[in-house]
Structure 1
Amino acid sequence: MKHKHSQTNEEAAVVSSSIRAEINQQLRQIEQEEQIRILYACESGSRAWGFPSQDSDYDVRFLYIRPEDWYLSIFEKRDVIERPISSQLDISGWDLKKALYLFHKSNPPLMEWLMSPICYIETTSAAERIRELSPFTFSPKACLYHYLNMAKGNFRTYLQGEQVKIKKYFYVLRPMLACAWIQRYDTMPPMAFRTLVDTLVPADSALYEAIQALLGRKMAGEELDLEPRIEPIHQYLTQAFETIQQEAANIRTSEGASREELDDLFRAMVSEGWSTG
């Protein structure tokens, strides 16, 4: 049985058929080399968020299982596979056991992978069953602090001074808008950057105009490097850091799915994964 993730034409067009074929070939090669079964693979990063430039990398992320005997060991083993295939193609994955452990802690990167609009492999029910548990595991406080710390780090590294790396605005804006979404809606933020902007930023504001202009330049392939900082965006970020930090302590947390539930899911997926052709 094959489970397919739906895509719009715009989303599917982000990855050409030739690149998609190369990615799937690389994933199958990893399966053979590592003796694993890939349950789910998707695009992450700027292509999944909806603001790729013409030379953006392909950041492929996957979940996998190993044979049952691999897990029956008294020794800790590496639970991550990383393959920097080329300058344009980066592939890495997590063992399902690691993924479910982090899922119990409401891990935002994993949740984003499962929401990705660009899916390469989904051959078992694993991803869908994890998605079904997501509303019960989602912890607004944990996710908000994840995005807040991401935004702070990028802001501090790339956006200080009068001349800044303006393409890095996206990597601060998206996590900051994700924080605002969590505060307003108490749910996991959508993947699409445009959805965040259109929902949270007034269309008649200088901030909206500045974001749209910068987004248009990035997607048109313009070289976005050091330029004078963009004041409407800079002012919004400076104010948002202060506001979100003050309100973060009042955001609710969540205990997540039970350990027994996740253990049962893990065992079922190891069995299903190896029985699926």
Structure 2
Amino acid sequence: MEEKIRTKLKEIEQTYQVKVLFAVESGSRAWGLASRESDYDVRFVYIHPLDWYLSIDPHRRDVIELPISDQLDISGWEITKALRLFRKSNPAILEWIRSKAVYVEHDQFIAKLRRLEKDVFHPKSVLSHYIQIAKKNYASLHGKEAKLKNYLYAFRSLLASKWIVQFNEIPPVDFRELLERVKLDSQLGNELEQLAAAKIHGDERKSMQPDPVLNEYIRKELDWLSDTVKLMYAGKKDPTAKLNKLFRETLIDVWKENFVAYLK
């Protein structure tokens, strides 16, 4: 599948006349929670040639999305869209640049982007995001049956939230890395390990009886996190100048030949 994904990315570059700056796995495969049935959720950032940016007309479509087929879900953001969202501390792109499943990586761009993480990281907004994801999954854990993956996704968001409160840092992507460092009761940690193993080695769609103990734990943590986020500092830095510089440097670096032609 990895070779197929890289081939698809090359086809995207040729079809849309762009360069892919980085492409990674997101979702369950990046989190270390993939089963045999899990999709490959490939996300990428791309850049157009110089002419696309030097136009009096407004920029056109800033996403590329392929139809989902054969367990492959692939889509990407144009670089200026990605950097605007990065400036807002968008959790999706923060996770993408931390993914260990990398298909394409423009070394200079990604290194510079990672150096700007602290300039864009806004604990309150990222924490709010993970709380909402946890609440969404928690809402599905009631009734006669609950999906195993919804428990894991609820707890992954809770652990990411607790990481932010505990360390004031961007949380890691991998579920087990979160489990290892976030303070949890050992019995709960073991139970989550068992749930993760059951998903990885079992059926992606597997259901289970709702667990009242786990549900109560999630409810209490969500109440505490919801109170905590309200007290957090809401101010933000403005890294726009640095991100503009990164965009311009990347445009020159990727499309050197275009710039040479313009200078002649």
Q: TM-score, normalised by structure 1?
A: 0.87
CA deviations 1:53-82 (Å, max 9, x no partner) are 112111111110001121223324110101
Residue 223 of structure 1 deviates from its aligned partner by: 5.5
Structure 1 counterpart of 2:127: 144
Tell me, yes or no, if structure 1 residue 31 matches structure 2 residue 13: yes
Counterpart residue number, 1:196: 178
3-state SS of paired residue (2:255) = helix
2:106 is aligned with 1:123:
yes
Per the alignment, residue 71 of structure 2 pairs with 88
Matched, 1:106 2:94: no
Give the aligned partner of residue 168 of structure 1: 150
Residue 72 (structure 1) aligns with: 54
Q: How many residues align?
A: 256
Greater shift in the superposed pair: 226-235 or 25-34: 226-235
Q: Tell me if the contact between 2:163 and 2:178 (Cα under 8 Å) persists in the aligned partners.
A: yes
TM-score by length of 2: 0.91
Q: Runs in 1 of length 4+ with deviation above 6 angstroms?
A: none
Q: Which amino acid aligns with 1:187?
A: E
2:232 aligned residue = 251
The root-mean-square deviation of aligned C-alpha atoms, in Å, is: 1.7
The answer to whether the Cα contact below 8 Å between 1:176 and 1:240 also exists between their aligned partners in 2 is yes
Question: Is 2:163–2:169's contact at 8 Å kept on the other side of the alignment?
Answer: yes
Is the CA contact 2:66–2:74 (under 8 Å) kept in the aligned structure 1? yes
- Superposition deviation, residue 225 in structure 1: 2.9
Q: Which runs of 5+ in 1 are unaligned?
A: 1-18
Kindly state the Cα deviation for residue 25 of structure 1 after the two structures are TM-superposed.
Answer: 0.3
Matching residue's letter, 1:256? K
Cα distance in 2 for partners of 1:149, 1:83 equals 27
Letter of the aligned partner of 1:27 in structure 2?
L
Structure 2 stretches of 5 or more lacking a match? Answer: 258-264
Which residue number in structure 1 is paired with residue 194 of structure 2?
A: 213
- What residue identity is the alignment partner of 1:240? E
* Mapped contact 1:183–1:251 kept (Cα < 8 A): no
Sequence identity (%): 39
Alpha-carbon offset, residue 154 of structure 1? 2.3
- CA drift of 1:24 comes to 0.3
Q: Give matches, 1:5-20, under 5 Å.
A: 19-20=1-2
Letter in 2 for 1:196: L
